[in-house]
Amino acid sequence: MKVNRKIFREYDIRGIVEEDLKGDFPYFLGKAFGSYVKRLKVNSVIVGGDNRNTTKDIKEKLISGILSTGIDVVDIGTIPTPVLYFSTHYYNSGGGIMVTASHNPPEFNGFKMVVKGKSIYGEEIQKLADLIENEDFEEGKGKVSEKDAKSDYINFLVENFKFKKRLRVGVDTGNGTVGPLISELFGKLNLEMEGIYLESNGDFPNHLPDPVVPENLKDLINLVKEKKLDVGLGFDGDGDRLGVVDENGEILWGDYLLIIYMREILKEKPKSKIIFDVKCSKALEEEIKKAGGIPVMWKTGHSLIENKLHEEKAPLAGELSGHLYFYDRYYGFDDAIYASLRLLEIMDKTGKKLSELLKGVKKYFSTPEIRVEVPDEKKFEIVKNLQNYFRGKYPISEIDGAKVYFPDGWALVRASNTQPALVIRIEGESENSLQRIKEEFFKIIEKFK
C-alpha cells in the first residue's frame, strides 16, 4: 500500500481527511502502530480522540487495526491530548495514540503517538510508514475495554492544587475538546470562571482553536477587560497549548510564561536546566541566568522539546507557541490545563497580578510568529540556502533552521514541521532595530523564495 509520506511529519501524522486519511488508511496505521509496539514488548495501548467531526470514524478504524495485531486497546473516549499522555503514565501503559489535528482547520485530522512514556518522532514515525508500505504486520486478536480517564485526570488535579483566593478567570477553548473538562475542573477547584466558546463543536464556528494567533485572542481580551478578570486563558483544540492574557489584556507568550514558572521552580531546584525553543526571546535566557538556572536552547517541536527535557533531566521546558512541559511535580509532557493551574497557583501564592510577576524583565520588541507559505518539498531547501548565505556574515545558530544574530537583535527562519510554510520570528532591542532587521531579513528571504 502506498502512503503519502508528506503526512508523516517530524512529530506527528497529519493531513486532510478526504485526501490523506481516507478509506482504510487509519486501519492500516493501526496495524502498523500495533506491530511497532508489539515488537517493543508492549501488549496494551490507550486510544483517545478529539472532537472533530471525522474523529469517531477514524478512531474506530484505527482501533480495529491495532486489535488485528494482538494488542489490547483501552478506549478513553473524547478527551484533550494531555489526558491521553496522563493516562499512559497514570495507568502505566506501554503506549498510546491520539486522533487529533490540534488547531488545524476542520478538514484536517491526524495522530499523536506515545510509546513507553515518551512521544515518538522523526525516524520512528517514518518506520510506521515503512510498515504500511511493506505490509509488515503482526497478527493476533486483541481485546478492547473502556476507562473513564477524564475523571481520574480531574481527580488528580483537584488533589494536587488548592487555592486560597477565588481567582476570577476568563477561558476561551475555541469550541475545541477542552471546554467541557475545564468547566468541571474549575468548578471543583473553586475558581470563578467566565467562559466563551466552551461548547464542543468540531466545525470551530467562532475562530480556529489556536491561541498563538493574536486575532483568536481578541474576544478573550475583551472579556478580561470588560469583566475586570485576573487572567484570561486560551486553549488550543486538543488542549496541549496555552495562550495567556494578563489583567490589562496584554498577551503573554510562552517565553514570558516560562520566566514566571522557572523563577518559582529554581527557588526549589537551583542550578537546574531550563529548556526552550529557538523562537523564544533573549529576555528568557537572561532571566534564567539571573535566577541561577542553566538556559538550554533547542529545536521547536513538541516531541523534540519533550525528549530534550527527559534527556537533560530538566524540571521545565517550553516553546513560544505555548507548549509547556513540567517534569516538576508532574510527568514531563505538554499539558496546557496543568500549566494553567501552575500559573494560577503562582498568582495565588504570591498575591501578585500577572503584570507584576514580570516586573524588571527587559522588554524586547518582536514580531509574532510569521508563516510564509511555501511548498513542503521546497521549505528545507530554502532554509539550507539561507544558512549558507548568512554563515560568515553574522553569528548564526543552526540548531533549528537559521537563527541570525545581528548587533541589536536576531532573526529566525525555520521550516514548519506541521505545515507547508517557513516560520519566521524577529526580535530587536528597539522598535527601530526590529524594523530594520525585519526589512533586511525579508528581502533576503524573498530572493531565495
227, 194 contact by CB (below 8 A): yes
For strands 396-397 and 44-49, give the pairing: unpaired
What are the E-state strand segments in 287-420?
A: 294-298, 316-318, 324-326, 365-366, 370-373, 396-397, 402-406, 409-415
Distances in whole angstroms, Cα of residue 118 to Cα of each of 62, 76, 311, 331: 20, 19, 11, 10
Provide the annotated active-site residues.
14, 102, 323
Q: Which grid cell sits at 367?
A: 514580531
Task: Report the alpha-carbon distance of residue 96 to residue 115 in Å, rounded.
Answer: 7
Task: Report the alpha-carbon distance of residue 67 to residue 45 in Å, rounded.
Answer: 10
Residue 125 Cα to chain centre, angstroms: 18
145 C-beta neighbours (distance < 10 Å), count: 9
User: What's the order of all strands across the beta sheet hosting 273-277?
Assistant: 294-298, 273-277, 316-318, 324-326
For the chain, the 3-state helix, strand and coil shares in percent, each to the nearest 5, are 40, 25, 35
Task: Report the alpha-carbon distance of residue 20 to residue 16 in Å, rounded.
Answer: 5
Query: Within 13 Å and on the Cβ side, how many CA atoms surround 86?
Result: 26
Residue 387 Cα to chain centre, angstroms: 26
Nearest to 200 by CA among 239, 164, 153, 160: 239
> What's the Rg (C-alpha) of the chain?
22
